[in-house]
Chain A
Amino acid sequence: MIIINKELTALIPFFLFFFNIIILTLLISYSIKNFKNLTFTILAFFVSFLSLFFVIKIDPIDINYLLRIDKYSIFYSKVFLIFSCMICIMSYESLKNKKNNNSQFYLLILLSTLGCIILTSVNNLISLCIGIELVNIPLLGLMCCLGNYKQSLSSVIKYMVLSSISFSFLLFGVACVYIGSEGGLSFFELQRSLNLAIDDSIYVLLFGISFIIVSFAFKLSIFPFGLWISDIYNGMHSIVLSYFSTLSKLSLFISLVRFFLYIPYIKGKILYYLLEIMAIFSILFGNIMALFESNLKKLMGYSSMSSFGYLLAALLSFNSFPFFLDVIAIYICSYLASSVGIFFIMNLIDLNNKNKFKENIISSYKGLFWSDPFLAISLTIMLFSLSGIPINLGFISKFLLFCSIFNSHLIFLGIVSFLGTLLSFYYYFRIIINLYSFSSEFEKISFFTHIKTVPGFIIFLLDLFLVFFGFFPSDLIVWLNDVIVFL
């Protein structure tokens, strides 16, 4: 095992992360002052963010067939660092209200983000397993940090059981691939052995890969394996949800994209059919279940299920559309910004009105606009973006998605996603209309008081991001074209 200088440089962000985690552990044991720990966490994010700029100069680089660091992985690492930093800042207020100061929240989020960054650059099934566990195990701790203890405990137990089952599926799949590819676990070797495989051994390989897909489907909550989603979402605090529903799933999806680029279409046709069926059903099921949901958290769960269906559809449309990585990137950006924003807003409303929002029922947001116009307008923008109404980044991403789907002749999938979008309009509008209806008993908060605070400013930035790139998406596309050069 020889590691060259260059490879060490490429690993700097990971080392920095480890280092920071150790220091933070010591800090927490020394003092439990919330603010101090938060400052250090932000610093840690900032340092590793800066270090990514050094890595850009030497990409693409393989590290021992375990990780592959290229523009793709660096771009997503940056995005994840920014968003998890935001989540840390937003969590400060809610953590402050807790009786026993839960500074370990920052520690767990740092650990989990490390897993996300590893997942963006995995190139080997071993590192994939490590990354997935590194994302998921701290998540179990995170869920308990905030919110109602009893509720979150039940969702922790459910999620733990599910994730261990899915992990065992993953291990089984990896073992099968190991047999099929005669002792190779990296994606290159997988591709090579798929190309060379004769009738019998290809079945073993495909069997293994389909088990890996099943395990992914468990984690991404894609249709037949994602029925747990509403239960677990309901029990979690909205800050934790903003991490769980976006970063932890998206990092997995990004590794799935990389994994699938190594599977040749001709050999793995059956896998693509499998994914197509999953995508169709998760779009339909997620949207239909969300139609009848009156709990906002559960509704967001179902909507995230359908969003991952759309993302899978984007992944499937790879063969004839050269920009499909861009499409995925734009969709991920808009999904991240809008759903993280929605959870942030839910959290802020929770904090402002402590006793009213226990249930997260949609009707409890009645008349929000008349009491708190800033949050209501931001929530509207984010919901519009999720549903894909024009002049919004969400619309552009949906449009590009449909372009790529239809262009690769996946007509049925395209029509289903059309239908799903139509259905989604209905339930998003139901939320929006609640915000503006005329019965308010809130105390009035003016438009500008929010922007002066840090959380309000973050939400304002997210709004600006969504609307600005909705107007001028070409800049974003050009930029992404430069950034994401695969392989």
Chain B
Amino acid sequence: MLLFLLVIIPYIGGCFSVFANRFCNRFSPRWNALLFTFSTFFLVVFILYKNYFYIKCIENNSNEWITEFVFPWIPQLGINFHLAMDGLSLLMVILVSFLGVISVLCSWEEENKSMHVFYFHLLFIIGSLIGIFLSIDLFLFFCFWELAIIPVYFLVVFWGEPDRSIKDKNKHLLKVANKFVVYGLVSGFLMLLSIFGLAINYYNSSSIWSFDYNTLLKVSLNPNLELFLMICLFLSFVIKMPIIPFHSWFPNLLINTPKSGTIDLVGIIVKTSIYGLLRFCIPLFPNSYFKIVPVAIVLGIISAFYSALVAYSQKNIKKIVAYMSISHMGVMLSAIYSGKSLLIYQGIVIQTIAQSLTAAALIIVFGKLYKKINSMNIKKMGGLWFNLNWLPGLSLFFLVSNLSIPGTGNFVGEFITLLGIFNHSNILSFMFLFLSIFSSLYSFNIMHKIYYGREKKVYFIENKCITKTELFILLSFVFLILAIGFFPKLILDISYINTM
């Protein structure tokens, strides 16, 4: 029941916030959104606390869920409203709900047009993401996967802020958002095709309809069919990830989102595909895993190196963050496919969490920077270190933690992953070590061009400081990243309870 509440609370909150400004003053949508996101966060922490003893004591890898919720939905087709939680989904839901609270706080001082609809969409995204991470019925998973696309579309079209040089603003936003939707829907329908294949195969062998994950795990498939269905599912996740040939929607989307960074935090949307690969693509098709290994690893390497290089040559800060994220995704994709081991899996989980925290923090920092100097272009910046109070130091911290310096969560994640990869293929491991040179290149390039060097233009900055809320948000990110770095044991413990 708790899981059901967890999914439904953000949706209810979304519906509430549409009508919130009708009854109270115009700030009430904000308070309403904060209330609902915070209660979601509280609920997850409560679930964690309740099962803490269980997590601590677990000795061997038992294939059981922490909690479950089943409710028959369409019994004629064997579709259940089946939510379940294991270590991986627990961590992901904590991450989503935390970022949800932050994203509401982040746009706290923004003056947007029609806030109530804005928060409606935001809460819908959070609800769908939680649904994606919790749903175990494939039909339900697909429903949430599609539902997450629509609010992002609306958010970009109505509240997007494209570059100033673009003349026809609305048309440009429409184009960007359409691109996103087309990619998203193609991905969704490839997934649906694969789900149909699984379900119908099961129906033909047992004449019972079922879309349940636990049932479909045990099905034996004809090798060719398995390969086909696997490729469909794999492609659907890779498009959403994004990996190089399918990546062009992502940087475009990111640079056109509102500068307060609200949606970008929900850019954890791309992390759903890592989850999908771990949860569905590998366990459902165990025999064809090895057939796609070379392709996946090569794709991952190409996108890691290529986007690191592209990130170096970009001028727009947000685009750099986007390519940075693609580069990390490439690393993770090849890590997932380099071997099936607990070490790699745990490393990937920590890396996912730490990297989404750093990327989110960087986006917030750059958003604040944009607010101060009204530009995203690196070439127009320079020598800002002494003009701002908190931002330079914080951005240095996050950029360095993005490079996986010891002490940060990213380091733990990357260390464990590389250790795991080394067992299977040492060459790949070396390649990724080599990649860190590339990433240091673009990270320090940004740092140098923005904060050091000669001032290219005299900026008149009224207010050097950032507000207390913003400081609180950023310091909480710092705290979390360091906490994961120093005490990764809790996450390792939680992610140990997996059903894969």
The answer to whether A226 has its CB under 8 Å from any CB of chain B is no
A406–B75 contact, CB under 8 A?
no
- Residue interface bits B174-211, CB-to-A below 8 A is 1, else 0: 10011001100110010011001101100100000000
Q: Inside 8 A of A396's CB, which chain B residues have their CB?
A: 74
Which residues of A lie under 8 Å from residue B203 when comparing CB positions? 407
> For the complex, is A422 an interface residue (Cβ under 8 Å from B)?
yes
> Do A438 and B113 touch (CB < 8 A)?
yes
> What is the bound-complex CA distance between A395 and B196, given in angstroms?
15
Distance of B83 from chain A, by nearest CB (Å): 16
A265-278 near B? 1/0 per residue, CB < 8 Å: 00000000000000
List of A residues within 8 angstroms of B75 by Cβ: 474
Binds A, one of B87-95, B143-151, B271-279: B143-151
B200 A437 Cβ-Cβ under 8 A: no
Question: Is there a chain A Cβ closer than 8 Å to B76's Cβ?
Answer: yes
Contact yes or no, B73 A406, CB < 8 A: no
Interface string of B405-419 (1 = CB under 8 A from A): 000000000000000
In the complex, B245 has a CB within 8 A of chain A: no
- The reply to whether A438 and B150 contact each other, CB–CB distance below 8 Å, is no
Chain B residues 73-121 with CB under 8 Å of chain A are 73-77, 113
Q: How far is the CB of A296 from chain B (nearest CB, A)?
A: 18
Looking at the assembled complex, report how far the CB atom of B271 sits from the nearest CB atom of chain A, in whole angstroms.
Answer: 21
Residues of B within 8 A of A (CB): 72-77, 113, 139, 142-144, 146-147, 150, 153-154, 157-158, 170, 174, 177-178, 181-182, 185-186, 189, 192-193, 196-197, 199-200, 203
Which residue of A402, A436, A474 is within 8 Å of B196 (Cβ)?
Answer: A402
Given A390-B146, A436-B158, CB of A477 within 8 Å of CB of B200: no
Compute how far the CA of A407 lies from the CA of B181 in the bound complex, rounded to whole angstroms: 29
Task: Enumerate chain A residues within 8 angstroms of B197, measured Cβ to Cβ.
Answer: 406
Q: Is the CB of A203 closer than 8 A to any CB of chain B?
A: no
Contact with B along A390-432 (1 / 0, CB 8 A): 1100011001101100110000001100100110011001000
| Cα-based distance from A126 to B366 in the complex (angstroms) | 75
Give the shortest distance, in Å, between A38 (CB) and chain B (any CB). 35
Contact pick for A422, options B143, B154, B177, B185, CB 8 Å: B185
A406 — which chain B residues lie within 8 A by C-beta? 196-197, 200
Kindly list 15 other residue pairs between chains A and B, CB separation below 8 angstroms, not including A403-B199, A429-B181: A390-B146, A399-B139, A400-B77, A403-B77, A415-B193, A418-B189, A422-B186, A426-B181, A433-B174, A433-B177, A437-B157, A472-B73, A474-B72, A474-B75, A481-B76
A436 touches B73 (CB 8 A): no
Measured between beta carbons, the chain A residues less than 8 angstroms from B146 are: 389-390
| Interface hub of A399, A403, A436, A473 (most chain B Cβ within 10 A) | A399
User: Which one, B177, B178, B193, contacts A418 given CB within 8 A?
Assistant: B193
Cα of A396 to Cα of B75 in the assembled complex, Å: 13
On chain A, the residues within 8 Å of B72 by CB distance are 474
A residues whose Cβ falls under 8 Å from a Cβ of B: 323, 389-391, 395-396, 399-400, 402-403, 406-407, 414-415, 418, 421-422, 425-426, 429, 433, 436-438, 472-474, 477-478, 481
A484 to chain B, nearest CB (A): 14
Across-interface contacts of A437 in B (CB, < 8 A): 157-158, 170
**Residues A390 and B154 in contact in the complex (CB < 8 Å), given A406-B196, A477-B76:** no
| Given A407-B200, A407-B203, A437-B170, A474 contacting B143 (CB threshold 8 A) | no
**Whole-angstrom distance between the Cβ of A364 and the nearest chain B Cβ:** 16
Residue in chain B with minimal CB distance to A323: B76
CA distance A481 to B75 in the complex (A): 13
**With the chains together, A433 CA to B153 CA distance in Å?**
9
**What chain B residues lie within 8 Å of A391 (beta carbons)?**
143, 147
The minimal Cβ–Cβ distance linking A185 to chain B, given in whole angstroms, is: 38
Which residues of the partner chain A approach B157 to less than 8 Å between Cβ atoms? 433, 436-437
- The answer to whether B170 touches A426, judged by C-beta atoms less than 8 angstroms apart, is no
Bound Cα distance A481, B77 (Å):
13
Complex contacts, B181 vs chain A, CB 8 Å: 425-426, 429
Q: How far is the CA of A316 from the CA of B357 in the complex (A)?
A: 51
Find B182's partner among A323, A426, A436, A438 (CB 8 Å cutoff): A426
User: Which 7 pairs across A and B sit closest by C-beta, in order of nearness?
Assistant: A390-B143, A474-B74, A390-B146, A477-B76, A406-B196, A425-B185, A406-B200
By a CB distance below 8 angstroms, the chain B residues around A478 are 76
Complex: chain A residue closest to B184, CB-CB? A425
CB contact under 8 A between A426 and B143, given known A407-B200, A407-B203, A474-B76: no
A91 to chain B, nearest CB (A): 32
Task: Write out the residue numbers on chain A whose beta carbons fall within 8 Å of the beta carbon of B113.
Answer: 438
Nearest-neighbour CB distance to chain B for A330, whole angstroms, equals 11
Name the residue of chain A whose CB is nearest to the CB of B153.
A429
Most buried by B among A390, A437, A473: A390
Q: Which residues of A contact B154 (CB under 8 A)?
A: 436
Q: How far, in angstroms, from A436 to B74 measured CA to CA in the complex?
A: 33
The CA-CA distance from A436 to B177 in the complex, in Å, is: 14
Q: Give Cα A418–Cα B154 distance, bound, in whole angstroms.
A: 24
Q: How far is the CB of A188 from chain B (nearest CB, A)?
A: 31
Residues of A within 8 Å of B153, CB to CB, are 429, 433
A472: chain B residues at CB < 8 Å are: 73
CB of A402 within 8 A of CB of B192, answer yes
CA distance A437 to B174 in the complex (A): 10
Q: How far is the CB of B188 from chain A (nearest CB, A)?
A: 9
Contacts of A389 in B (CB 8 A): 146-147, 150
CB neighbours (8 Å) of A436 from chain B are 154, 157-158
- CB pair A426–B178 under 8 Å, yes or no, is yes
Contact B147–A390 (Cβ < 8 Å): yes
Minimum CB–CB distance from A438 to chain B (whole Å) comes to 7
CA distance A474 to B200 in the complex (A): 19
> What residue of chain B has the Cβ atom nearest to residue A326's Cβ?
B76
Q: CA A474 – CA B199 in complex, angstroms?
A: 18
Distance, CA A76 to CA B199, complexed state (A) = 31
Bound: A365/B146 CA distance, A: 26
Minimum CB distance partner of B186 in chain A: A422
Residues of A within 8 A of B139 (CB): 399
With A390-B143, A433-B157, A474-B73 known as contacts, the answer to whether A403 contacts B186 (CB < 8 A) is no
Beta-carbon contact of B158 and A438 below 8 Å = yes
CB B411 to nearest CB in A, in angstroms, measures 40
Minimum CB–CB distance from B193 to chain A (whole Å) comes to 7
- The reply to whether A429 and B178 form a contact with Cβ atoms under 8 Å apart is yes
Which residues of A sit under 8 angstroms from B73, Cβ to Cβ?
A: 472, 474
- The reply to whether B189 and A422 contact each other, CB–CB distance below 8 Å, is yes
Name 18 A/B residue pairs within 8 A (Cβ), A-sorted.
A323-B76, A389-B147, A389-B150, A390-B142, A390-B143, A390-B144, A390-B147, A395-B143, A402-B192, A422-B185, A426-B178, A426-B181, A433-B174, A437-B157, A438-B158, A474-B74, A474-B75, A477-B76
Q: Are A421 and B189 in contact (CB under 8 A)?
A: yes
**In whole angstroms, what is the CA distance A399 to B137 when docked?**
15
B176 to chain A, nearest CB (A): 12
Query: Considering only CB atoms, which chain A residue lies closest to B114 in the complex?
Result: A370
Residue on A nearest B77 in the bound complex, by CB = A403
Chain B residues lying within 8 Å of A403, measured Cβ to Cβ, are 77, 196, 199-200
A426 to B146, CA, bound (A): 14
Are B143's CB and A473's CB within 8 A? no
Residues of chain B within 8 A of A433, CB atoms compared: 153, 157, 174, 177
Min CB distance A400 to B, Å, is 8
A391-B193 Cα distance, complex, nearest whole Å? 19
Please name the residue on chain B nearest to A472 by beta carbon.
B73
Residues on A with beta carbons closer than 8 Å to the beta carbon of B143? 390-391, 395
- Interchain CA distance A422-B178 in the complex, whole Å: 12
- Please name the residue on chain B nearest to A437 by beta carbon: B170
By a CB distance below 8 angstroms, the chain B residues around A426 are 178, 181-182
Q: Identify which of A402, A414, A429, A478 gathers the most chain B CB atoms within 10 Å of its CB.
A: A429
The CA of A389 and the CA of B153, in the complex, are separated in Å by 14
